[in-house]
Structure 1
């Protein structure tokens, strides 16, 4: 089983949209996928029409294997299951701070389903925290959507610096450009500069800004299910393909 995190320490960059579309694409390719929504807002579960779990609360997410597995829900798509979040997930850092070996707790919880899935995809909240350190330690790859703007570029730099300071492997970080607008000169200049500065940490994929991605909330479904030929759907499929090659 491989663990892939969709993460950014900056909000509003397309992290959840990437999680949802990648989970769907990976499942369509024949892999058994679990999308684990770690964000208390529960957007991934919303897109897949899965209600928040009322059973999986407190530190039991990390300690109660049966409650963890019983909270997994099937989706409308073959090979794709969802572990929905709920508002108690906002207290994960509090629970983790009380536990011994807190940095490895997430990995231990996910090991309980290792025989059932080929890939576990984590949709992560946008912050640097004890939970995110668990994610960094557990994940085989960390997908980081980057809008080609100054603040998003700065957030990507901060993430790389954090990995260096905490002696985590930067090889896990796979950035890709998100919400790209081809008519914006700033976007083109930022992409060119960052590709030069971080040639090994950025994938070739650039997901365009698209109204089809915004319509996911209306359809409550991945882009490929209602706009399969759109540039956004093709970009997410290319991202899925490149991720599979890397793994």
Structure 2
């Protein structure tokens, strides 16, 4: 079982859209996939199920061993794609992890029972630098970091990279790529061109800013089902190709 995370210390950068689309593409590529929405806002549920998102279960029941991991999994949201939706209690994830200090990586322990039936786990992470972030960076084989091509996002990337280095959590796992790229803006064009020079482990993919991505929440569909011919859908397919090459 391979594990990837979609993570950014900044919100509003297209992280969840990338997580949902990559999870769907993987599942359609003969890769049994689990998408786990770790963000208590639960945006992945809207992208997968529109106005009636699937309901999650309380975190405490999982961490306290009162409910097995399998009880949290919604099987076959799409063929080959399982889903663990977020719950509002996920906002307490860091508190629970601190209470279990010294007891190893809890995320790794939670996911272990699913390893025989799951080829790829996709973690959609909240935009925080926290204990949960540390465990995600530790357990993931690769961490894909969407960046809007602005100086503020570039600064947040530098902070994340240094954080991973300082904590010895595998900064080389971090794979930045540009997201919500508006080619009409000179700054966006310039930073995308400078990506290979400015960003360590740069994944040479640029997801365009597009209204069709925003429609994912309204329609409750990944782009391959909503508009597979769109440039954004093509860009996500390119990103999946990069990820697949990184992992296997």
Asked whether the two chains share a fold, i.e. TM above 0.5, the reply is yes
| 2:96 paired residue number | 95
Residue 165 of structure 1 deviates from its aligned partner by 1.1
Residue 129 of structure 1 deviates from its aligned partner by 0.4
Per-residue CA distance 1:37-84 (angstroms, 9 max, x = gap): 100011112222242223x332x3334284321110024411000001
Residue 195 of structure 1 deviates from its aligned partner by 2.2
| 1:152 paired residue number | 153
For the structure 1 residues 212 and 2, does the alpha-carbon distance in structure 2 shift closer, same or farther, using more than 3 Å as the test? same
In angstroms, what is the RMSD of aligned CA positions? 1.4
Counterpart Cα distance in 1 of 2:66 and 2:193: 46
| 2:179 paired residue number | 178
| 1:239 paired residue number | 239
Q: Quick check: 2:35–2:82 contact (8 Å CA) kept in 1?
A: yes
Counterpart Cα distance in 2 of 1:103 and 1:9: 24
| 1:107 paired residue number | 108
| 1:77 paired residue number | 78
For the structure 1 residues 81 and 164, does the alpha-carbon distance in structure 2 shift closer, same or farther, using more than 3 Å as the test? same
Q: Quick check: 2:192–2:206 contact (8 Å CA) kept in 1?
A: no
Worse-matched range after superposition: 140-149 or 159-168: 159-168
For the structure 1 residues 103 and 143, does the alpha-carbon distance in structure 2 shift closer, same or farther, using more than 3 Å as the test? farther
Q: Quick check: 2:196–2:204 contact (8 Å CA) kept in 1?
A: no
Counterpart Cα distance in 1 of 2:226 and 2:25: 13
Residue 164 of structure 1 deviates from its aligned partner by 1.4
Secondary structure at 1:69 match in 2: helix
Secondary structure at 1:81 match in 2: strand
Counterpart Cα distance in 1 of 2:203 and 2:101: 36
| 1:22 paired residue number | 22
Counterpart Cα distance in 1 of 2:100 and 2:41: 24
Q: Aligned pair count?
A: 244
| 1:67 paired residue number | 68
| 1:57 paired residue number | 59
Residue 35 of structure 1 deviates from its aligned partner by 0.2
Counterpart Cα distance in 2 of 1:201 and 1:145: 13
Counterpart Cα distance in 2 of 1:46 and 1:161: 33
Counterpart Cα distance in 2 of 1:208 and 1:111: 36
Per-residue CA distance 1:131-174 (angstroms, 9 max, x = gap): 11110000000010010001111111100110111122111111
Q: TM-score, normalised by structure 2?
A: 0.94
Q: TM-score, normalised by structure 1?
A: 0.95
Matches within 5 A, 1:207-246: 207-246=207-246
Per-residue CA distance 1:210-229 (angstroms, 9 max, x = gap): 11101101111101102010
Counterpart Cα distance in 2 of 1:192 and 1:103: 41
Matched, 1:131 2:132: yes
